[in-house]
Amino acid sequence: MNIENSYIIPIKVDSYKDLFYEFDFSLIENRDLRDDIDSFISNKVLDLKQSKNTNVILEIYIPYNSKNVEEEILAIQAIENFYDSKSDMDKFIINTGKKRLLYYLFLSAMFFMAWYFIQNFLITLGSNLIASIFDTCATVVLWQAITLVFIERKNYNIKRDVNKIFSDMKIQFKYI
C-alpha cells in the first residue's frame, strides 16, 4: 500500500475493550463499535475527497502495556465484521427500496387506470369527485416513486461508496 496516497484516521483508546460497547458481552469478534467511534470514522470518511487511488488506514493507538496480539486480531475482525454487517443492512435497505419503487409504480398505475375509467365511462352524480380523488392519489404515489428514484438514490449511492471505503479500509494498531 502506498502511504503517500493514504488517508489516515487516528483513534486513541486505553484498551481494546474501549472500542466496543461496555455492556456487550458477546464474543469480541461479534461486538459493535461504540457509536462515538463509528460516527468519528464515518465523518472522517465522508470528509475525504474520494479519489480512486486513496486508501484509508484506521490507526488505533493503544498504550504499550495493553498490547495483546490475540485481542488485536479479534478487534480487527470485530471492526471488519461491524462494517460488513452495516454493508449487508444497507444492501437490504436498497433492495427494499427497489421493491417499494415497483409497488409505488404499480399502485400509481392502478389509480390512474381507475381515474381514467371513472372519468371516461362512468357518468354519475359524484363521479367527478371520485375521479379527482383517484387522480390525486395516483399523483401523490407517483411523486413518492419519483422521490425514491431521484432523491433517495443519491443517498443510497453515498452509502454504497462509503461502505466500499470501509470494506477496503486497513486497520492497524500502534502502541504508544
Q: What would the pLDDT profile of 111-163 be if each residue is shown by its tens digit?
A: 998 888 888 777 666 677 888 888 899 999 999 999 888 888 888 888 778 88
Domain boundaries defined on the chain: 3-87+168-175, 91-157
Q: What strand order describes the sheet that includes 55-62? A: 6-12, 55-62, 170-175
Rounded Cα–Cα distance for residues 139 and 149 (Å): 15
Question: Where residue 61 falls among pLDDT bands split at 50, 70, 90?
Answer: very high
What are the grid coordinates assigned to 2, written together? Answer: 502506498
Q: How many CB atoms lie within 10 A of CB 14?
A: 10
Mean pLDDT taken over the chain: 84
SS3 6: strand
Rounded Cα–Cα distance for residues 42 and 40 (Å): 6
Say what the pLDDT of residue 50 is.
58
Q: 28-32, 48-52, 73-77, 99-103: which range is least confident on average?
A: 48-52
Spell out a b/e string for 85-115, using b for 16 or more CB atoms within 10 Å of the CB, else e: ebbeeeeeeeeebeeebeebbebbeebbebb
> Is 145 in contact with 105 (CB distance < 8 Å)?
yes
Say what the pLDDT of residue 63 is.
93
Q: What would the pLDDT profile of 72-86 be if each residue is shown by its tens digit?
A: 998 999 999 888 888
Q: Report DSSP letters for 55-73, one per residue.
A: EEEEEEEE-GGG--HHHHH
